[in-house]
Structure formats: structure tokens, C-alpha cells
Amino acid sequence: MPEAALEALLAISRDLTASFTASDRYERLLSTLRRVIPCDAACLLRLEGDALIPVAGHGLSSQALTTRFKVQAHPRLSAILAARGEAVRFPPDSALADPFDGQLLADPHALEHIHACLGCALTEGGEVVGALTADALEPRAFDDLDPRFLATVGALAGAALRTASLIEALEVRAEHSGRVAREMLRASSQTPLLGTSAPVARVMEEIALVASSDLAVLITGETGVGKELVARAIHAASRRRDEPLIQVNCAALPEAIAESELFGHVAGSFTGALRDRAGKFELASGGTLFLDEVGELSATLQPKLLRALQQGEVQRVGSDKLHRVDVRVIAATNRDLAAEVAAGRFRPDLYHRLAVYPLHVPPLRERREDVALLAAHFADAAGRRLGLGRVRLAETARERLAAFEWPGNVRELENVVSRAVLRASRGRHAREAVSVDVRHLDLLAPARGGPPGRRERERSEAIAEGLELPAAPPGTPLSERLEAAQRALVAQALSRHGTLAAAARELGMHRSNLHHLVTRLGLRPKGEPR
């Protein structure tokens, strides 16, 4: 056996015990074999069920390297696997179709030329685990290869392929565990659902009731009321509490990668897909999938989500393999999904699939007795972050906070209190006590003869009265008129203020929600980058 062949076998043997990633092992194995097999293209394929999947390739088009080759559909591949450890040389005039015809980079028209083709099944412990193929433009390129060498290559390469496959499985599992751990760490930093009012007590009762089931839950409520906290409370009280809760912000899913984020993808399925990746459904299997802002899902993604919910199966982008998932779905939205269904913007079958158990979270203005408790909690949290001592809310500050309408709800309250603590801490030393009074609160002053809430309502009414709606021809659907009014209102707010943050404050929205709305409506505040 030539010295080069022996060195190649030795290199493969050494790599079996070396510390490499799975992708590095595949590449090193194929590179070693190409040094001793005179070919223009080679491919290393792993057997998965009834298909051969390329894991490394040289001299082949990207299309060839991202194709799942059904063995029964390719007679040459069937012949290679049937021969097990024996190498198969196909004569230049073989009538059997070559799966790589037209895919050689050295000559894309190789289908029209006579060329050499070689294949060897890769075995490990008597089991076929994959295949090695080689193509050469020279018809007699493989005539002098030693059959004993090729048989030895098949055995060693089979062991190397199995080792790499096991390492790849461990890498995937480690990545999955890491992603789940990051999600769980994020959950641990969330503020618990706080409140002693009757509306909150009703929500807690509903959480306890629905948590004991696996019913899909649709959480509704205004922006900032704590829908995510309710979802996490349901998960924490469910039988799935020891499994992950995976969150997806549907409003932040770019259309181009939304399907991949939810359902995963295989390597090569699109530009940038360098390796297989599980989607959020697979990550959440056994646990809970929280679809936040579900009302923002695109029309193209809605039927795919419905199919996954109905069948309990997901299909990665670029793959024809189905993955079974056991997922409890909780969705949340600040939209009126029933109205969205009536307007034709949301699928009715998906709505009914998600809203098996609807749960409404009341706005803060309907639970004013909780404002003092929440404000004290947020003040303490802000004080700890700033390294302060005890933070005290003055009576005047508590009264002003309780009287406000809170269009942004609990999230707005947290932001206002955090800013107030920061202002009150000016000039204070570490661990020094801080008192927050009304002058530190950046809230509108109460309207004369009434609470701040009245002024907020008056301001909203004034905005509505001054709104110039675009003309609509007779017969224009209500949904189009409402969207035109929404576009006009947002456009005028942006024109007045020039920034998303200021416009969001006027409209009583969170900035991120306004950003997504502006994008959907095709608007852009002046001065903001595209």
C-alpha cells in the first residue's frame, strides 16, 4: 500500500481521539481522503432514516450540498449502500444516473461528458452510517486504487463519522441547554405580579384555575398591564413548571426569519444558515411557549402557526422531516383580536385555537389601590440599582401617583418611579436614605377642579377633535377607514414631536409598540434613521 495511503489512514485514526468540533471532523476527514483519492469532487454523507445528508463536500455546488438524497430515488446511492464495506466503481458508460451530475464545480456540464464515479459505504459496528462519493472528470481516475485501502477507509471513516455525529448531537444539546438557561435566567429577573385589589385577586384566581390544565390561554389587556407576568405565573403554577418557558415577541420577528425562529432550519436552507438550528417550538417542547404580541403575526405566518398547533409537529425550514413537539401555548396581545378577525387581518381558526381560555388583565386605572404598593416596590428596586439606602415616597407623591390615569399602566408607573428616584438621589451618598416627593415626578399637573386623569382624557379628546381624517370614497370598508384614521393620528403625533419617544408618550403607547406600528403603517418620524 503506498506510503501516502498509509499516512491518510493514520491521520484518520488520530483524529478519532482528537478534540475537534463535529464540522471540523467532517472537513478533516474529507480533506484527508482527497489527498489520496484523485478526484475533482467528493462528498461525505450521513445516513438519516431513508436519506443521505451531505455533511461535508468539496468541488460541488451549494445546491448539491444542501440536498437530502432519498436513497431509493438514486440507484447509484442504493448500490453503494448495498455493497457495505466494498467500494463500488461505476463504469464511465453506466446507465445509472449520478446524483451529482451537473453539480461539479470543475465542469458544470459533466453530465454531458464521460467521467469516473466511485462510492463506498461507511460502516461502524456492522451498521451502515453513511457514504463517501468521489467524481473525477478523467474516466480512468480510480482504476489504480487498492480495494483493500478503500475497504479500510470505509471502516475508519465510518467510525469517524459516527464519532462526529455523536459530538454534533452533544453540541446541539449543549446549545439547546444554553438557550433554555438564558430564557430561564431572564424569567428569574422578572417582577412578580403584585396587587391586593379585587381585579388582581380575580386574575390570580383565574391563573390558579387554568394553570392546572393544558388549555391554550389568550391573555388580553392594554400595553404595560403585565401580560407577560401573568403568562409566567400560569407556567410557574402548571405541571410544566420544571420545564422551560420560551418567549417569542411576535412583533419583533422580521418577516424574513420569522419561520426559522419559530420552527428552526437546516444548514444551507437560506443565506447565513450555516448549521442546523432548532426553533422556539422545539426549545419549548415539554414546557410552555409564550407568544407575546401575537396579534402582530403576519398573514403568511398565521397558517403555519395554526398547523403546528393543530398537529403538534413542526418542520424546519429546508427540511422534509417532521419533529413532534409537546408544547403548551400561551399568547398575549393588546389588540382586539375578535375585531381583527372581523376585519380579515387575523385568521378566525387561529384565534379560536389560541383563545381556548381568554384571560383579561385590567388596566392600572381600574386597580388604583395597587398603585402605592407597586410604586413602593419599584422605588426599592431603583434604590438598590443606584446603591442608595432606604427610599421613601412622600404622601404627596403617593397621592399624585394614585390620581394619575396611567395610559402606559404598570410599565409607565415603573419608569416614572425609577426616574423620580434618580432625580431624588442627586447629591446623595451611597447607602444614604432618599425621599421622593411630588417635584421629582414628571407627571402632568392635575387639571383645575379634577384629578390628572381628567386632563389626560381632555388631551386625548382634543387630539381626536383636531384629527384631519383622509377622505374615503363611499363603500370603503370600516377596517380601511380605521387604519387611515390610525395612520393620520400617528403621523400628526410624529409631526408634532419628531421622535418616537415623545409621540409614544402623547399616544399613551410604549415606544417599542409605536415603532412596530410606524413600520407597519409605512411612516417614519423626521430625524429618525431608516
Beta strand 127-136 with 116-124: parallel, antiparallel or unpaired?
Answer: antiparallel
Q: If you search the block for the grid coordinates 455525529, which residue do you land on? A: 165
Q: Where are any strands of DSSP class E within 209-347?
A: 217-220, 245-249, 288-292, 313-315, 322-324, 328-333
Kindly tell me if the per-residue pLDDT of 204 is higher than 70: yes
Q: Residue range 91-105: average pLDDT? A: 84
Beta strand 51-58 with 41-48: parallel, antiparallel or unpaired?
Answer: antiparallel
CATH assignment, 365-440: 1.10.8.60
CA distance 151 to 46: 18
Kindly tell me if the per-residue pLDDT of 524 is higher than 80: no
- What pLDDT is stored for residue 74 in this prediction? 93
Q: Where are any strands of DSSP class E within 250-397?
A: 288-292, 313-315, 322-324, 328-333, 357-360, 391-393
- 90 three-class SS: strand
**Four-way CATH pick for 190-362: 3.40.50.10800, 3.40.50.300, 2.30.130.40, 2.60.40.1930:** 3.40.50.300
What's the pLDDT tens digit per position in 233-254?
Answer: 999 999 998 888 999 999 888 8
Residues ≥6 apart with Cβ < 8 Å to 469: 481, 484, 485, 488
- What pLDDT is stored for residue 528 in this prediction? 53
What's the pLDDT tens digit per position in 322-331?
Answer: 888 999 999 9
Confidence bin at 466 (pLDDT 50/70/90):
very low
CA distance 158 to 160: 5
CA distance 165 to 306: 33
**Alpha carbon distances (Å) from 341 to 57, 91, 348, 349, 469:** 49, 63, 6, 9, 24
What's the pLDDT tens digit per position in 34-78?
Answer: 877 888 898 988 888 889 988 888 888 888 887 889 999 999 999
Domain regions of the chain by residue span: 3-170, 190-362, 365-440, 466-521
Residues ≥6 apart with Cβ < 8 Å to 468: 488, 492
- For the chain, the distance separating the N- and C-terminal CA atoms, rounded to the nearest angstrom, is 65
What's the pLDDT tens digit per position in 254-284?
Answer: 877 888 889 988 877 777 777 778 889 988 8
How many helices (DSSP H) and strands (DSSP E) are in the chain? 19, 15
Nearest to 520 by CA among 366, 295, 280, 284: 295
Confidence bin at 18 (pLDDT 50/70/90):
low
- What pLDDT is stored for residue 202 in this prediction? 95
Judge whether 297 and 338 are in contact, CB under 8 Å: no
Dihedral Cα 207, 211, 213, 217, nearest 10 deg: 60
CA distance 374 to 408: 14
- What pLDDT is stored for residue 456 in this prediction? 43
DSSP 317: B
Q: Which CATH superfamily is domain 3-170 in?
A: GAF domain (3.30.450.40)
CA distance 466 to 378: 37
- What pLDDT is stored for residue 409 in this prediction? 93
Confidence bin at 149 (pLDDT 50/70/90):
confident
